[in-house]
Amino acid sequence: MHTSWLTGKLSDVAGIIILPLILVYIFPKFGKSAVALSAVLFLFWKSEFSQGIIDFYNQYSFIGTSRIIDYSDFLVFVFLPIPYYIIKHINELNAIKIRQINPLAVLIPSFAVLIATSPPASFYYNRSNADLTCYNCTISINYSQDEILKKLKEQNIIFDSIKPLEKSHLVKSQEVNFYKLNRLIIKKDTLRGLEFTMRTFKNGNTKIYFRGMHIAQDLSNDKLEKTLRKYYKKLVFNEIKSRIKNTTN
């Protein structure tokens, strides 16, 4: 779970300490220069210049990743003396020496752990503080976001707030916005605090994420929560599709 500012900073601290040690383990000739190389790699990863590589990686990887561009992350460089000291005095620190094994056996799991400190892009499309959350509850519509908004407006559905996804989380050639609807009346049901994400692809199609909504029921019962999630997901998406279909072209 990617829950707080603190856990993110702690993962950065762990990464900046461990990365030089991994590099010097796999490439012993790097020596103390592994510390400087780690700083350069960290700077690149946390900059906008790494977005192209992240987009390419996410297209083919089973483990998605992303990162937040936050220049306060560079404060972790104050911890670089720790790996520097360890590498410099490695021959004296017998207690932490480990037997040399195949570098791939270290590189592959280490890489997976380091990128796992950053959530995949889909995390940002689904996050919600609603009472009833719905993860990866989606439908696809063959319209752009502007076309969807226009059609829903004709049906008297006007979103109360619209907020774009931060560029640091954005996948290239996609438009992603967060939407909130304070109230939606569907037959006898009045739904409140509905949260959506709309993600438009290069081909003009849009995926709508229903992230959650306010609900008065007690959700301490897991079975009840699952039932309500299934019910409201179907209700909301059927209503959206019906309203779009009923608009004039």
Whether pLDDT at 117 is above 70? no
Q: Is the pLDDT of residue 120 over 70?
A: no
pLDDT at 42 over 70: yes
- The pair of structure tokens assigned to 151 is 């059609």
Mean pLDDT of 199-218: 90
Classify residue 90 as exposed, middle or buried by CB count within 10 Å of its CB (0-12, 13-18, 19+).
middle
pLDDT tens digits, one per residue of 96-114: 555 555 555 555 555 555 6
Greatest mean pLDDT among 32-41, 93-102, 168-177:
32-41
Q: What would the mean pLDDT of 85-102 be, rounded to a whole number?
A: 68
